Amino acid sequence: MATITKVSPLAPAAFPDLPVIDGVTFATMAAGVKYQGRTDVMLALLAPGTTVAGVFTKSSTRAAPVLDCQAKLGGPSDGAAAILVNSGNANAFTGKGGVAAVEAITAAVAQTCGVEQGRVFTSSTGVIGEPLPAERITAVLDRLHQDQNPDQIEAAAQAIMTTDTFPKGAMALVEIDGKTVSIAGIAKGSGMIAPNMATMLVYIFTDAVASQNALQAMVTRHADRTFNSITVDSDTSTSDTLLVAATGASGVSVDGNAAFEAALHGVMQNLAHQVVKDGEGATKFVEINVTGATTNADAKTHAMAIANSPLIKTAIAGEDPNWGRVVMAVGKSGAPADRDLLSIRFGDIEVATKGFVSPGYAEADAAAHMKGTDIRIGVDLGMGTGASTVWTCDLTHGYIEINADYRS
């Protein structure tokens, strides 16, 4: 296992102060799934009536817990609910044994905590292809049940880390009809250990009252513009999971409420940015903003082609305002583009205008922007009104060091 001791230079100064969410409690344990000397299981219990929405990896080789969660989202939605997450083992590519492990864990949580098994959601993150030792997890369930505490969300964020260099949390408070609705979320991703991959797990809790249908629609809509608009290395995990749970304890209904939706979007975007800022070897946080495309989907295709280009990511690492590579990425993306309408900005500096280097462009200006930590690349296609913003990080020696490290 690669030893990653240094916290990302892009990490926030501290874990934020997250509000307690009425109707949610947490506990964590060191179950020894794989790691020694640290917590590796977290159990969150959700009050009766909590609605749960989710978005999952589209991988065709997705792990057993993901398939189980997806099946359960359409199931019963009245009683209490539980979310159990382990780190250290992904329970992926583990065949029928993997399915049996999920069955054993969810059955044990249901019995211990008095929750319907159809309302027990699990995630696993860590090594692929090794059987998950479910008994190590079920052995600590009594303690996880007894230790439940509403104020342990930071501990939960720590227990789900694999090679993350910092725990990730974000929050929002929304005033609706004179009452306060709270949102608190945690995430893990994107350090990795051979033979793992950058799994992203996200759990967001709110005391809002939300119908499952409305919450699911909202989460799906905003996942597309947050978690599905980030990329570290274009690789997709078999375990990516986002769950949003609304306990209803505030008594404030948010179905169709724009202020709540904006606040939820903010929490999702904040967590998504933190995942990028913990990208393997990242030294720069990069925003790619594409406008003027024929459609929003085309804009995103171009933006992702730029964000995933190794040539662009290495140029950013080298603080090189290499706009020729941006032309290349737009050209290869497969979405419509017209070379002679294309304009490119680095930060606020107009580099190329309608297919030609901008008059008065001085490379020194763009180079100055590239020396910062927050890099912005803007592309206008000059064709329509489609737009998209995505976020990524640079590609550095650190990425190679972390990922080429041979398991000893």
Scan residues 49-88 and list those touching a second copy (CB under 8 A).
57-62
Report if residue 9 touches a second copy, rule: CB under 8 A: no
Does 27 help bind a second copy (rule: CB under 8 A)? no
Nearer to a second copy, 17 or 407 (CB): 407
Cα Rg of the chain, angstroms: 22
Element (H, E) at 62: none
Q: How far is the CB of 63 from a second copy (least distance, A)?
A: 9
> With CB under 8 A as the contact rule, which of the stretches 182-190, 253-261, 292-300, 336-344 interacts with a second copy?
336-344
Closer Cβ to a second copy, 121 or 399, answer by number: 399
| 372 is a contact residue toward a second copy (CB under 8 A) | no
Beta bridge partners of 123: 85
Give me the phi and psi of 389, to 5 degrees please. Answer: -120, 130
CB 328 within 8 A of CB 311: yes
Among 148, 328, 368, 376, binds a second copy (CB under 8 A): 328
Examine residue 352 and tell whether it contacts a second copy (CB under 8 A).
yes
Distance CA 114, CA 290 (A): 50
The catalytically annotated residue of 50, 125, 199, 241 is: 199
Kindly state the DSSP code that residue 253 receives in the 8-state scheme.
Answer: B
Instruction: State the minimum distance, in angstroms, from the CB of residue 387 to a second copy.
Output: 19
| Both structure tokens of 111 | 């019995």
Q: Is 314 a catalytic residue?
A: no
Q: Which of the residues 92 through 131 are near a second copy (CB under 8 A)?
A: 92-95, 127-129
Identify residues 306-325 at the interface with a second copy (CB under 8 A): 308-311, 314-315, 317-320, 322-325
Structural contact between residues 394 and 314, judged by C-beta atoms closer than 8 angstroms = yes
Q: How far apart are CA 90 and CA 87, in angstroms?
A: 7
Backbone angles phi, psi at 56, to 5 degrees: -135, 165
Per DSSP, the three-state class of 376 is: strand
- Where would I find the beta strands (DSSP E) of 23-137? 24-29, 41-46, 51-56, 81-89, 120-127
Residues designated as active site: 199
* Binding residues for a second copy (CB under 8 A): 57-62, 92-95, 127-129, 192, 194-197, 233-238, 308-311, 314-315, 317-320, 322-325, 327-333, 336-340, 342, 352, 355-357, 367, 395-397, 399-400, 403-407
